[in-house]
Amino acid sequence: MNDPTTQAQRTGALRDLVQRRVPVPQALAALTDFAWDSDTELVTLTRADAVRSLRDHLDGTLTDRDLQSWADALEVRDDIGREPGYEDQLTEFLFEIATPEVAGPLTPERATHWIQTFQAPTAGT
C-alpha cells in the first residue's frame, strides 16, 4: 500500500476506531477494505483512549457489545500500536475487554480499576 491517498484513508479510519470519533460499527465497516496486517503502526492506542471508552461504558453511552467489538478490533490489528511504556497493560486490557467469555464480564468495579491504572502517575513524575 504505497498510494498516499489509500494510506491517509486507512490512517483516518484507524483513528476513527481508536479514538471512537464515529460509532464503533461505522468505524469497523470503514476498515473492511484494509488488511489487518501491516509492517508499520499507523495509529497508537493511548491510555486516554482506553479511559474515554471505559467512562463512556460506565455512563451508558457505549454498550457492552460496542466496547467488546472495539477492543476486539484493536487487539488484532498490526497497524495499531500501543502507547510506549504501557504496551503490556494496554494489551492485557484489550484482551480482557475483547474476551468476556474468558476474562469475565466487565463490571463497574473492574472498569474503575482500569481507569485508575491508566491514570496513575508514572514513576519519576
Cell of 11: 490512517
Q: Is residue 1 pLDDT above 70, yes or no?
A: no
Best CA proximity match to 72, nearest among 100, 49, 51, 111: 100
> What is the H or E stretch that residue 56 is in?
helix 47-58
Q: Mean pLDDT throughout 41-65? A: 97
Banded model confidence at residue 124, pLDDT cuts 50, 70, 90? very low
Provide the pLDDT for residue 2: 63
Per-residue pLDDT reduced to its tens digit, 3-49: 878 889 999 999 999 999 999 999 999 999 898 888 899 999 999 99
Cα-flanking dihedrals φ and ψ of residue 40, to 5°?
A: -130, 150
Per-residue pLDDT reduced to its tens digit, 97-109: 999 999 999 999 9
Percent of the chain exceeding pLDDT 90 equals 83
Q: Is residue 64 pLDDT above 90, yes or no?
A: yes
Best CA proximity match to 31, nearest among 22, 39, 40, 95: 22
Q: Which residues contact 66 (CB under 8 A, 6 or more apart)?
A: 23, 24, 25
